[in-house]
């Protein structure tokens, strides 16, 4: 790699772990490269669940102290002289703002992917982060919120100036998703059997509400034969597996971990269920819509309600309500024509969330 080459745009993120921010980061880089945009990718660590496009220039800045990270960023920016930087996730966003004070970043765009005020009892941990966001985010040219709900959270609850925040919905590559959805599922026999399979995708963390999903599934199993497959990894994996045993559903629930190709599982699901207590803009919902699978989702403060028209292109239920989640899922499983109608309408609506439109919006921001 020739480090002396300059670049037009720097994309920066702490790591490529298996979350939604990381997925759209990789998708945008792929789309920008298709448009021959000269770019550089800055990564904080080697953690990787997603692969960057071939021949993407990558520089690792390490995971040391904030001073070490910022010093490394400043060195890279001074050498590369980018026209713009697009930064992902709060830690990198804050590092980039400080680096901008010391260098010549012409245009800095920060992206924000979740609602900080929805952390519930965990909110105290984020007090320091929220204060730094309030202080430093306005120094960027634009903060991109991935949904109107996230924008409202940033403006109303975190005090950011509304004129600084733009909404750009995450985009997906519908054709690529459906191509990958055609791959054979060899990881588990349930997808080749007649019993309905419910699929959930999400990191195994408090915010994703898996405890309510498992309670809902336990209620549903008393009335309807079905199975549950959960794709994702996270710190609550052990606790959730113990919960399945406590609820007596361990033989009907399978944790398959993180999957690079979740679409082949989605395609063969009877229903996709999102159980989150808070979200930004859950791309997994769009992916389920894209492969023609009916969706049941919690109606978080942001995200799902901006994608789904309740009773038309999916079903929305109150968060943290296992009974409502069970009833909605049961309706999908038992009413075949209704489920088909929801999936058909959702498939038509998902095209407006394409990655090309998403990239167009970012490029417009880069141009000012």
**Residue 279's pLDDT band (cuts 50, 70, 90):** very high
Q: How far apart are CA 344 and CA 223, in angstroms?
A: 27
Q: How far apart are CA 364 and CA 346, in angstroms?
A: 28
- Residues forming a β-bridge with 257: 231
What is the structure's pLDDT at 4? 44
Give the ranges where 81-206 is alpha helix by DSSP (H).
Answer: 90-102, 127-136, 148-152, 174-181
List phi, psi (to 5°) of 8. -85, -45
What is the structure's pLDDT at 3? 39
33-46 pLDDT, tens digit each: 999 999 999 999 88
What is the structure's pLDDT at 187? 86
Percent of the chain surpassing pLDDT 70? 96
3-state secondary structure string across 316-363: EECCCCHHHHHHHHHHHHHCHHHHHHHHHHHHHHHHHHEHHHHHHHHH
Chain centroid to Cα 299, Å, comes to 16
Q: How far apart are CA 274 and CA 188, in angstroms?
A: 21
Q: How far apart are CA 31 and CA 277, in angstroms?
A: 31
What is the structure's pLDDT at 49? 80
Most confident of 13-27, 40-54, 309-323: 309-323
Taking residues 49-59, report their average pLDDT. 92
What is the structure's pLDDT at 103? 94
**Residue 121's pLDDT band (cuts 50, 70, 90):** very low
123-159 pLDDT, tens digit each: 556 678 888 888 999 999 999 999 999 999 999 988 8
Q: Give every strand in the sheet of 197-201, ordered side by side.
A: 253-257, 227-231, 197-201, 271-274, 295-298, 315-317
What is the structure's pLDDT at 19? 87
Domains of the chain: 9-168 (3.40.50.2000), 174-352 (3.40.50.2000)
- Residues forming a β-bridge with 198: 228, 271
Q: Name which residue leads in pLDDT, 107 or 4.
A: 107
What is the structure's pLDDT at 123? 53
């Amino acid at each position: 790699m020739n480090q002396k080459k300059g670049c037009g745009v720097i994309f920066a993120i702490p790591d490529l772990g298996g979350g939604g921010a990381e997925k759209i980061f990789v998708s945008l880089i792929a789309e920008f490269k298709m448009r021959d945009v000269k770019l550089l990718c800055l990564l904080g660590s080697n953690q990787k669940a997603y692969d960057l496009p071939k021949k993407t220039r990558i520089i690792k800045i390490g995971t040391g102290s904030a001073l070490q990270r910022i010093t490394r960023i400043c060195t890279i920016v001074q050498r590369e002289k980018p026209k713009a930087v697009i930064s992902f996730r709060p830690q990198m966003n804050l590092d980039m703002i400080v680096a901008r004070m010391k260098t010549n970043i012409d245009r800095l765009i920060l992206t924000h992917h979740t609602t900080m005020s929805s952390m519930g009892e965990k909110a105290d941990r984020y007090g320091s982060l929220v204060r730094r966001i309030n202080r430093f985010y306005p120094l960027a040219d634009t903060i991109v919120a991935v949904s109107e709900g996230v924008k409202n959270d940033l403006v109303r609850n975190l005090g950011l100036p509304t004129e600084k925040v733009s909404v750009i919905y995450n985009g997906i590559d519908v054709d690529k998703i459906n191509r990958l959805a055609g791959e054979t599922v060899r990881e588990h026999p349930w997808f080749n059997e007649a019993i309905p399979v419910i699929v959930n995708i999400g990191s195994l963390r408090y915010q994703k509400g898996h405890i309510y999903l498992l309670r809902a599934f336990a209620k549903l199993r008393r009335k309807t034969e079905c199975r549950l497959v959960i794709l994702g990894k996270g710190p609550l994996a052990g606790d959730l597996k113990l919960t399945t045993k406590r609820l007596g559903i361990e033989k009907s629930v399978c944790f398959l971990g993180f999957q690079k190709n979740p679409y082949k599982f989605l395609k063969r699901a009877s229903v996709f269920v999102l159980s989150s207590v808070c979200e930004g803009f859950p791309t997994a919902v769009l992916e389920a819509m894209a492969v023609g699978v009916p969706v049941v989702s919690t109606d978080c403060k942001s995200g799902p309600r901006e994608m789904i028209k309740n009773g038309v292109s999916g079903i929305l239920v109150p968060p943290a309500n296992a009974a409502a989640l069970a009833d909605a899922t049961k309706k999908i499983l038992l009413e075949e024509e209704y489920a088909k109608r929801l999936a058909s309408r959702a498939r038509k609506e998902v095209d407006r969330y394409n990655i090309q439109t998403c990239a167009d919006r970012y490029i417009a921001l880069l141009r000012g």
